[in-house]
Amino acid sequence: MEKPRMQQTLIGSAIRVVARDGLVKATTKAIAREAGVNEVYIYRGFKDKEDLLRAALHLEDTRFVQLFLKTLPALQKPDGGWIDESWTLWRTMWEFILSLPEDCVFYARYYHSANFQKYAREQHLAAYAPVVTQLTPAFREGINVPLLLGQVFETMLFFALQVLDGRLPHDETTARLAYRQIYSFIAPHVRPENAAEQEKT
């Protein structure tokens, strides 16, 4: 198997093992077993387990950022209101993350780990830099947009996990509940011309 293909296979296996068994049980042996290969192949494609998990997180970041950047231009119409646009954008991101349950659980487990802070945080922030650039003009001057987006992401993960665990239904009511929570802490920081719109949700 070619190296890039092997790397993708191992990344997929790492995501499944972490989602199913947690970070502690996601050993290189377990990941290799899931992939159906010898453990030595992990070290041919990655420096170590942390390098593999960082690559898996980066893949998820890339998917999410690409979808965001693809969706945003279609919403920026002269006659479109900020609330309508933000709701449509939220709905697209929400359905995307719920369509990948294993990926969502992996992301949540790794994102909230000490290893993320130690090994992957800088790469994660760099991946989201284009999103920050696109959204900064929507907010008041001086707002810490990366921090605000971090809150959005934390909230999205929280609600998504509630849905995936069966504690909340996967329906329009839950989507709007999550959106209202996010809107409540974003709205005070939006530029006045956008904040002046009447809430429609």
- The model's pLDDT over 31-59, given as tens digits with 9 standing for 90+, comes to 999 999 999 999 999 999 999 999 999 99
Burial of 135 from C-beta contacts in 10 A (0-12 / 13-18 / 19+): buried
CB 153 within 8 A of CB 199: no
* pLDDT in the model for residue 130: 95
* pLDDT in the model for residue 125: 94
* pLDDT in the model for residue 195: 57
Q: Which residues of the chain have pLDDT under 50?
A: 198-201
Question: What does the mean pLDDT of the chain come to?
Answer: 90
* pLDDT in the model for residue 72: 83
pTM: 0.88
Distance CA 5, CA 139 (A): 41
* pLDDT in the model for residue 194: 64
